[in-house]
């Protein structure tokens, strides 16, 4: 199954994210099928290939929740935003 998700690139505390199409089971920094855009969260700017994104969505590709919400916000696709839950690590659970 194919998925559209973020792939982090850049320096340690200055991440920029590529929006890529990958196989769901591949590693985050693994082999990509196609680059669909990029997003800079610090400057809140990005570029999206709307035609390719819509093509892959029509043909059954899934979208991660974070990318879905970003594409809705930037009017690339239409729909409702998804709720994102952040999992706590074991250390945080033990100290609480």
d(CA 16, CA 35) in angstroms, rounded, equals: 14
What is the sign, positive or negative, of the torsion defined by CA atoms of 76, 79, 86, 96?
A: positive
Question: pLDDT tens-digit profile of 23-62?
Answer: 999 988 889 999 999 999 999 999 999 999 999 999 999 9
Q: Which helix (H) or strand (E) holds 34?
A: strand 34-40
Mean model confidence pLDDT for the chain: 91
Number of domains in the chain: 1
Full residue range of the structural domain in which residue 84 is found = 2-95
> What value, to the nearest 5°, has the Cα angle with vertex 44 and ends 39 and 45?
55
Supply the CATH number for residue 86's domain: 3.30.1320.10
User: Pick from 2, 1, 5: which is nearest to 66 by CA?
Assistant: 5
pTM of the model: 0.83
The answer to which of 34-38, 41-45, 66-70, 85-89 has the lowest mean pLDDT is 85-89
- Mean of the pLDDT values across residues 68-83? 93
Whether the per-residue pLDDT at 96 is higher than 90: the answer is no
């Amino acid at each position: 199954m194919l998925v559209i998700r973020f792939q982090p690139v850049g320096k340690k505390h200055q991440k920029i994210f590529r929006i890529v199409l990958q196989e769901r089971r591949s590693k985050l920094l693994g082999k990509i099928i196609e680059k669909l855009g990029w997003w800079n969260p610090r400057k809140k700017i990005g570029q999206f290939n709307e035609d390719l994104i819509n093509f892959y969505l029509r043909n059954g590709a899934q979208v991660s929740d974070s990318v879905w919400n970003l594409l809705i916000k930037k009017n690339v696709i239409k729909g409702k935003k998804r709720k994102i839950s952040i999992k706590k690590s074991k250390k945080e659970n033990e100290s609480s």
